[in-house]
A and B are shown apart, each in its own frame.
Chain A
């Protein structure tokens, strides 16, 4: 029982930090009981308004608080015996049962939040959203079914979730008089005054919606010019629906326009033919232009190829004109270039030497630097190694500590396993006993039936012979008596069995009642009753005192 109490106290501490986990359940005062139970109830059903503390003074107030808490527990589904006495005169057994029930009912989500050690952190948006979804779903699951056609009325409270969606289908040809009356022609004005249907008639068809249509038209009027493409598109689709006025007009003037129409069509025919001939001409011209262009590109390519060859020929001609003089000239040129080259190589050597030396120097310096770098690296790594070993040692130590602190948990699991084993054994025993009982019952039945048959047979036999024989008659009487006595005996035995059973049940009940330490609660109750009486007397005294001056006056 101690461990159960520990778990309960731990959970209560989580619910209400004012309750210390070190306290004993049997030593709970009524104030603490009220605090614990109302804390749990507030967690389970946050919508419930419950008193958090037990008022100190008047008994009636205390009684009211205790009964409201008892009602709250009953509402959450507690089936046990509960009333104001549970809170005002607590006993450990009932309290344990009640608190265990309440802790089982605590919402899981809260426990998880505590495990994450984020008790005080406010909820994130995601959690808030999830909570809202949950609330909405619970509400939807709880709502009664409403036929589809009644949904717009039945689900009004949830603002339109009626599954009666209306498609946003505007009438794109809404025909409304424009803003400036001066712009309208006489016929248009007449049409609008007499024939045009109003906006409701235009949207009466079930295929379009009034509000969608007016919103669409309003936006079209505002942006129609800016977004001319879409406007054009609508104009195009308006064509078939629009010819109300123009059709009338054209019909009226049809007779007069017959001959000009023919003239115009003839003209159009001629122009068409002309256009065709021009087009064919244009085609032939374009072909010749393309051919000439091709020739031009070919010629320019040829020119580009021939020009370098021409230059080479010109030069060789110049050299060959005066060959000997030119040869001498070339030789001298060769010599001068050779000397020039030698001087240049010498100069190059001069420059090269110092550069090579510096290169050598730099190479050595670089190597030295690298060596230094590697050394530094090694030092760093050594330091790291030391730090790691230290950490390793520390972690080893903590591991040892942790394994030590884990021991009680292992112990608990071992004990739980033991308990489970014991329970299994006991269950097997119970089954065995039950089997035995059944076997016994069966045997009893068999024997009883056998006996009955035997008796019947004997009864028949004796009855037949009793008609002739006097002794047999006597024997028959004795048999009947024997039978009656025996059945009485059997009845007695079964009665004894029942009585022992009842005795055992009563003993168990007595044990239970003894645990509730009735005596102390009785004393408390009598004390409270005395307080009540005292209070009543005081009140009566006050009433009398109040009445006397009134009577005197």
Chain B
């Protein structure tokens, strides 16, 4: 978009010493308590936090939030979410957050509210961000059936071999739909050896835990 937002100001006007917040975030935070009135600030922070922690939460619509200065409100929402995400990412506690915010010369009421809400919900935020990342998928569900071919593209008759068709997967936390991670076919012997290897892992775990 033509707004390729705030790239040059990010470097020109970088007033805060930690340098972790972009100019857009700083501008959004400065709106709080100023352009956006204190009661609306409180509401905006609470709503942002709730939607951060529970993305599918439904909150009561607040038309007055976007009534007068919608662009600022949108910027501030983004700023609050980013601030909390960065604070959690860098392991700040309430005091550190307050110090960082005070260096930005924000509205005092807004600083109070921001640090209070952060301190109250710090553990939830950590838990939320711990889940986020790149990792191998967990396997929480297994489906299987016995399959046998009838005929193939190269021969008219069946091989007559029954195989196990196994599908390992998990359920998406957001939508609950099932997701296949591995799908494979094996005969009884291969299945047995797979099971033995898995049992070996279990035995090793027990051994480690008990010894």
Contact = CB atoms under 8 A, between A and B. Distances in A.
State the main secondary structure of chain B at its contact with A: helix
Given A165-B138, A210-B52, A221 B78 contact: no
Contacts of B75: 176-177
Contacts of B39: none
Interface string A166-199: 1110000111111111011100110011101011
B10 A224 contact: yes
B71 A177 contact: yes
B3 A188 contact: yes
A98 interface: no
A163 B138 contact: yes
Interface in A413-433: none
Contacts, number: 186
Nearest to A193: B70
Interface string B4-42: 111111110100000111111111100000000000000
A184 B71 CA distance: 11
Interface stretch (A25-33, A131-139, A291-299): A131-139
A109 interface: yes
B193 interface: no
A305 B143 CA distance: 87
Contacts of A168: 132-134
Interface residues of A, number: 63
Given A177-B5, A200-B51, A215-B82, A108 B211 contact: yes
Contacts of B70: 192-194, 196
Contact of A159 (B6, B10, B127, B210): B127
Chain B: interface residue count, which band? 35 or more
Given A134-B209, A165-B138, A166-B132, A179 B13 contact: yes
Interface in B131-149: 131-135, 137-138, 140-141
A199 B129 contact: no
Contacts of A91: none
B7 A221 contact: yes
A222 B209 contact: no
B103 to A, nearest CB: 17
B9 A179 contact: yes
Contacts of B134: 167-168
B106 interface: no
Given A198-B74, A212-B132, A137 B208 contact: yes
B189 to A, nearest CB: 30
A165 B24 contact: no
A484 interface: no
B130 A148 contact: no
B55 interface: yes
A66 to B, nearest CB: 31
9 contacts: A137-B209, A159-B127, A163-B138, A163-B170, A168-B132, A177-B72, A180-B6, A188-B3, A246-B2
Query: Would you list the 6 A-B pairs with minimal beta carbon distance, nearest first?
Result: A221-B22, A160-B130, A178-B6, A163-B138, A192-B71, A178-B5
Interface of A: 108-109, 133-134, 137-138, 141, 148-149, 152, 156, 159-160, 162-168, 173-181, 183-185, 188-189, 192-194, 196, 198-200, 203-204, 206, 209-212, 214-215, 217-218, 221-222, 224-225, 231, 235, 238, 242, 244-246
Interface of B: 1-11, 13, 19-28, 48, 51-52, 55, 66, 69-75, 77-78, 81-82, 85-86, 89, 126-135, 137-138, 140-141, 170-176, 205-206, 208-211
Given A183-B9, A193-B70, 16 more contacts: A137-B205, A149-B173, A160-B127, A162-B131, A163-B138, A176-B74, A176-B78, A178-B23, A189-B71, A192-B70, A200-B77, A210-B81, A211-B81, A221-B22, A222-B22, A242-B2
